[in-house]
């Protein structure tokens, strides 16, 4: 409820009560005021708002990185079909396991690499106006991330970054992308594995664990870095050739020329960054980002809108890769986008089970009923509600275990962001991006 209406009611009430001489009269006045306040509060409260619902109608040019961005989707004359996971996903089938890319070996690695190559070759060769083409994947993310879609009946543009829409939107974008890859490969079990850039150490498999990947994952996944394959994207950031680890402290202005920080500097900072994102960010609001309802304008300042992991690991990952991955209007045109976001999706899922805090998704109906549109593998437009995006098992998949203990067990020494790892007592200087762009 806007505080201006509350305070004007309170002021008027106080004035009326002061003007009423008799005690009984004042009590009556107080009761009237309270009822009045309650009615106004109900009418104006955010619960009376509506969820954000995407429509492609009225799409306009977006804006990002100091440029007008033209990314409206191709015209669609078909019917929009609701996604109903319970009907569409066969729950009697075993869950597909999204694995850590760096632990694929031997035949499995070879087969996976050649499947990606085959699938992206097909998607790259589709005409540019086919919503399933690599070209349209970039445009689609551009439209959702540069304000091309408008809230019906208003001129308020929508952005799925920097709010509670960030995780569910990207989960479902990956879900439909995976369906498309399965479709073009004729392989219903194909999965998008994850690039766990958060994992900076190789450790022995913990006793008692039957499966899992405990190898460091913080270099560019080789499967995506072979220029002879269709999943390869020319990336302008050359740090990857020098074998340097992912740097989670990259700033937007460094995205095409990141400083070559040595591993001794980068590794402790990455740990601290993951610790803050996953362990300090232990409430609904801090991890998932701000509420975002019909009528709300886009927040372009990430530090007020976004959740911890969106600002920290997610963005730097994009900028460290560089090239088209570093810009919101082009990032989804790099196949690596999906492996990067598969890790974000995994971290969101695992976040619920970490120790400490109050780790629940929003239960607000404006979150649960928010709606997106996605293209499926037959180029049919599908409507998805956030409430159907909250369970990975409900969507038919799960994740291989990886070495999250590495950053879970990191020990902070004070609340200013200086932290000390278990193995060293040197304070770590964590860099926060303070100026920002969507990616
Ligand atoms: Cu929509 Cu990694 O971003």
Mean pLDDT, the chain cut into blocks of 10 residues (439 residues total): 48 66 72 65 58 97 95 97 95 96 97 98 98 98 98 96 97 98 98 97 91 94 94 77 83 80 91 95 96 91 88 92 93 98 98 96 98 98 98 98 94 54 49 60
Whose C-alpha lies nearest to ligand 1, atom 1?
A: 439
What is the third-level CATH fold of 52-408?
A: di-copper center containing domain from catechol oxidase (1.10.1280)
Rounded distance from Cα 371 to ligand 1 centre (Å)? 18
pTM for the model: 0.86
Rounded distance from Cα 346 to ligand 1 centre (Å)? 15
The pLDDT of residue 415: 45
Nearest to 398 by CA among 438, 361, 360, 345: 345
The pLDDT of residue 49: 85
> Cα separation of 10 and 260, whole Å?
59
Whose C-alpha lies nearest to ligand 1, atom 3?
A: 439
The overall longest dimension of the chain from CA atoms, in Å, is 90
Nearest to 408 by CA among 217, 266, 279, 273: 279
Instruction: Please state the atom number of ligand 1 nearest to the C-alpha of residue 170.
Output: 1
> Cα separation of 73 and 77, whole Å?
12
Instruction: Please state the atom number of ligand 1 nearest to the C-alpha of residue 318.
Output: 2
Give domain limits for the chain: 1-48, 52-408
> How large is the C-alpha radius of gyration of the chain?
24
Rounded distance from Cα 439 to ligand 1 centre (Å)? 5
Whose C-alpha lies nearest to ligand 1, atom 2?
A: 439
How many helices and strands (H and E) does the chain possess?
Answer: 14, 9
The pLDDT of residue 235: 78
> Cα separation of 80 and 78, whole Å?
7
Residues with CB under 6 A from ligand 1: 141, 145, 161, 170, 314, 318, 331, 341, 439
> Cα separation of 381 and 376, whole Å?
6
Torsion of CA 113, 114, 120, 124, to 10 degrees: 130
């Amino acid at each position: 409820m806007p505080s201006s209406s509350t305070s004007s009611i309170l002021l008027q009430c106080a004035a009326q009560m002061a003007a009423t001489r008799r005690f009984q009269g004042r009590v009556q006045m107080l009761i009237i005021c309270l009822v009045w306040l309650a009615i106004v509060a109900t009418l104006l409260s955010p619960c009376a708002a509506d969820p954000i619902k995407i429509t492609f109608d009225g799409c306009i040019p977006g804006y990002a990185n100091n440029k007008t961005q033209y990314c409206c989707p191709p015209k669609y004359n078909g019917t929009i079909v609701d996604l109903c996971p319970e009907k569409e996903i066969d729950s009697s089938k075993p869950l597909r396991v999204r694995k850590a890319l760096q632990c694929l070996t031997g035949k499995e690695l070879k087969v996976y690499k050649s499947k990606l190559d085959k699938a992206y070759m097909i998607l790259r060769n589709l005409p540019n106006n086919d919503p399933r083409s690599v070209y349209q994947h970039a445009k689609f993310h551009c439209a959702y991330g540069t304000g091309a879609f408008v809230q019906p009946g208003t001129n308020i543009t929508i952005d799925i970054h920097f709010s509670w829409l960030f995780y569910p939107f990207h989960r479902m974008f990956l879900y439909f992308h995976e369906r498309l890859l399965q479709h073009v490969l004729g392989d219903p079990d194909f999965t998008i594995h994850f690039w766990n850039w958060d994992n900076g150490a190789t450790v022995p498999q913990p006793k008692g664990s039957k499966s899992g990947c405990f190898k460091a994952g913080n270099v560019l996944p080789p499967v995506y870095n072979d220029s002879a394959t269709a999943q390869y994207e020319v990336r302008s950031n050359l740090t990857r050739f020098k074998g340097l680890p992912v740097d989670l402290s990259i700033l937007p202005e460094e995205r095409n020329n990141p400083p070559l920080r040595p591993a001794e500097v980068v590794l402790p900072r990455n740990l601290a960054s993951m610790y803050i994102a996953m362990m300090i960010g232990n409430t609904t609001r801090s991890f998932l980002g701000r509420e975002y309802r019909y009528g709300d304008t886009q927040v372009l300042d990430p530090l007020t809108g976004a959740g911890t992991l969106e600002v920290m690991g997610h963005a730097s990952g994009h900028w460290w890769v560089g090239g088209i991955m570093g810009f919101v209007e082009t990032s989804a045109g790099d196949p690596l986008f999906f492996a990067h976001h598969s890790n974000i999706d995994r971290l969101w899922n695992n976040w619920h089970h970490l120790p400490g805090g109050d780790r629940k998704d929003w239960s607000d109906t404006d979150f649960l009923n928010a709606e997106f549109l996605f293209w499926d593998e037959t180029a049919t437009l599908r409507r998805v509600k956030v409430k159907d995006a909250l369970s990975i098992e409900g969507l038919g998949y799960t994740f291989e275990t990886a070495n999250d203990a590495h950053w879970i067990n990191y020990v902070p020494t004070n609340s200013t962001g200086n932290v000390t790892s278990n193995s060293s007592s040197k304070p770590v200087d964590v860099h926060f991006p303070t100026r920002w762009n969507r990616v």
